[in-house]
């Protein structure tokens, strides 16, 4: 197992782990905001690996979400590269992603996180053997907003996204050019990013309105060429330890030409899911089925 902090002192290590030859130059944006990369023990440059980019919530940092969800264990089990960057600190010292007017650039700072994620993905691809058809984003809250926003404008670069308590941009601000597999996981009583849509709660500044959890997914269902109304699974999932029993209703939009659209509604709980042992297998099952055809 290797965990790389991809800043200048570790370029040689990154080069040895990936393709042979001189270490690629570090883009300026990554010199200012380096990211962490977990390389699983089973990784080999002879076989292209999936890449999962984890995007933390407002006020957190990259490692916080990774530890909370147990993503290192997922990376080891599924032999995927796991990148976890940090957002930009605002005037209150809380890290954020500039995911649009709804959340959570409260100081209106000139931060281009779409370009930042472009640079991060390109940098990992330059150093390691990455399966371009299996690049995924996973974001919590503000990170979920950012995952949706990036896929809206860079749909050709990602095969899928998982948004935990985030939301898609308003329909006028999201016109994806490529089908993307989307999984939205959201508590129906979330007090911060409301399941029904609206503006932020939880004492945060109220930004622009955002769509409901269902509309966030249905927008992607339209882009993915899905047909009909979502179909509910008869078997709820037990993924949130804050609520006893199998509390999560799984709905899938049928007939998607490409991509996929799913909404997992956790009945009860709160803004942040407290994962059970069933949580990571459920996530990996979604991701493994979503490789983009060449």
How far apart CA 225 and CA 257 sit, in angstroms, is 5
Domain count, the chain: 1
pTM above 0.85, yes or no: yes
**Separation of alpha carbons 87 and 149, rounded Å:** 15
CA–CA separation, 20 vs 231, rounded Å?
48
80: containing domain: 2-225+256-265+281-288
Burial class (CB within 10 angstroms; exposed 0-12, middle 13-18, buried 19+) of 33: middle
C-alpha angle 241/217/108, rounded to 5°? Answer: 90
Cα–Cα dist 219/287, whole Å: 20
CA neighbor of 140 nearest in space, from 200, 204, 97, 76: 97
**According to DSSP H, which parts of the chain are helical?**
11-17, 28-32, 62-69, 71-78, 113-127, 142-153, 213-223, 279-288
**Do the beta carbons of residue 93 and residue 18 sit within 8 Å?**
no
Comparing C-alpha atoms, which of 172, 187, 257, 255 is closest to residue 219? Answer: 172
The span from the CA of 256 to the CA of 105, in Å, is: 34
Question: Residue 230 domain-assigned?
Answer: no
Question: Is there a domain that residue 233 lies in?
Answer: no
**Residue in 286, 237, 243 with CA at minimum distance from that of residue 261:** 286
Residue 101: inside a domain, yes or no? yes
CA atoms within 13 A on the CB side of 62: 19
DSSP annotation string for 76-117? HHHT-EEEE---EE-TTS-EE----TTTT-TT-----HHHHH
Omega within 30 of 0 (cis) for the link into 104: yes
The CA-atom distances, in angstroms, between 74 and each of 152, 205, 209, 260 are 26, 34, 34, 21
What is the CA angle 250-99-175, rounded to 5? Answer: 70
Whether 250 is in a domain gets the answer: no
Please indicate, yes or no, if residue 238 is contained in any of the structural domains.
no
Sequence-distant (6+) residues with CB within 8 A of 78 are: 40, 50, 284, 287, 288
pLDDT for the residue 103: 96
Specify if 234 maps to a domain.
Answer: no
65: domain CATH number is 3.40.50.1820
Tell whether 126 is covered by a domain: yes
Q: Is 264 helix (H, G, I), strand (E, B) or coil?
A: strand
pLDDT, tens digit only, all 294 positions of the chain: 444 444 322 332 233 344 445 678 888 999 999 999 999 999 999 999 999 999 999 999 999 999 999 999 999 999 999 999 999 999 999 999 999 999 999 999 999 999 999 999 999 999 999 999 999 999 999 999 999 999 999 999 999 999 999 999 987 678 777 889 999 999 999 999 999 999 999 999 988 999 999 999 999 999 999 998 999 999 999 999 988 888 999 999 999 988 999 999 999 989 999 999 999 999 999 988 888 876
102 within domain boundaries: yes
User: For residue 189, how many C-alpha atoms fall within 13 Å in the half-sphere facing its CB?
Assistant: 8
């Amino acid at each position: 197992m290797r965990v790389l902090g991809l800043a200048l002192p570790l370029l040689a290590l990154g080069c040895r782990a990936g393709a042979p030859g001189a270490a690629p130059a570090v883009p300026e944006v990554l010199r200012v905001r380096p990211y962490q990369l977990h390389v699983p023990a089973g990784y080999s440059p002879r076989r292209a690996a999936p890449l999962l980019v984890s995007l933390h919530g407002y006020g957190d940092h990259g490692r916080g979400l990774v530890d909370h969800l147990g993503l290192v264990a997922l990376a080891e089990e599924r032999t995927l590269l796991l990148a976890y960057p940090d957002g930009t600190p605002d005037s209150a010292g809380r890290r954020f992603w500039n995911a649009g007017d709804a959340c959570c650039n409260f100081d209106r700072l000139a931060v281009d996180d779409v370009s930042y994620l472009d640079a991060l993905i390109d940098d990992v691809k330059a150093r390691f053997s990455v399966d371009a058809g299996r690049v995924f984003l996973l974001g919590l809250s503000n990170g979920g907003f950012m995952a949706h926003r990036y896929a809206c404008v860079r749909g050709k670069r990602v095969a899928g996204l998982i948004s935990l308590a985030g939301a898609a941009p308003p329909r006028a601000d999201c016109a994806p050019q490529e089908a993307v597999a989307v999984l939205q996981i959201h508590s129906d009583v979330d007090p911060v990013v409301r399941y029904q849509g609206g503006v932020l709660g939880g004492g945060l500044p109220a930004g622009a309105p955002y769509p409901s959890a269902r509309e966030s997914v249905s927008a992607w269902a339209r882009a993915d060429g899905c047909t009909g109304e979502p179909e509910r699974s008869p078997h709820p999932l037990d993924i949130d330890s804050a609520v006893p029993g199998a509390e999560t209703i799984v709905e899938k939009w049928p007939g998607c030409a490409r991509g996929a659209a799913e909404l997992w509604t956790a009945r009860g709980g709160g803004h942040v899911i407290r994962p059970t042992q069933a949580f990571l297998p459920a996530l990996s099952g979604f991701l493994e089925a979503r490789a983009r055809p060449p």
